[in-house]
Amino acid sequence: MNKGQQQNGEHRAKIKKMQEMLNNTEQNMKDTEFAIEHADTAAGREKRREKNAMRMEAVEDTRREIEEERSNL
């Protein structure tokens, strides 16, 4: 395997890992939306909404990183 192939393999592995993280975060967001609907207090709902807002930013950043890694293939 030459250096270019090795680097492509590293990029592919990184993309795969980031995609797994992205999928997990998106599932956490769905779970939190369910929890918001069933939260006992307004404070609990707000706290969960804030968490999901931060997660959304992370999702957007991760998507950009994935695209950047794909451009390196």
pLDDT tens readout for residues 8-45: 999 999 999 999 999 999 999 999 999 999 999 999 99
Q: Residue 6 — very low, low, confident or very high, per pLDDT cuts 50/70/90? A: confident
Q: The domain containing residue 46 runs over which residues?
A: 3-71
> For residue 29, which of 53, 60, 46 has the smallest C-alpha distance?
53
As for how many domains the chain has, the answer is 1
Return the structure tokens found at 64: 């950009």
Alpha-carbon distance of 39 to 49, in angstroms, equals: 11
CB atoms within 10 A of CB 49: 13
* Cβ within 8 Å of residue 11, ≥6 positions away: 69, 70, 72, 73
Q: pTM for this one?
A: 0.85
pLDDT in tens, 52-62: 999 999 999 99
Question: Are the C-beta atoms of residues 18 and 65 closer than 8 Å to each other?
Answer: yes
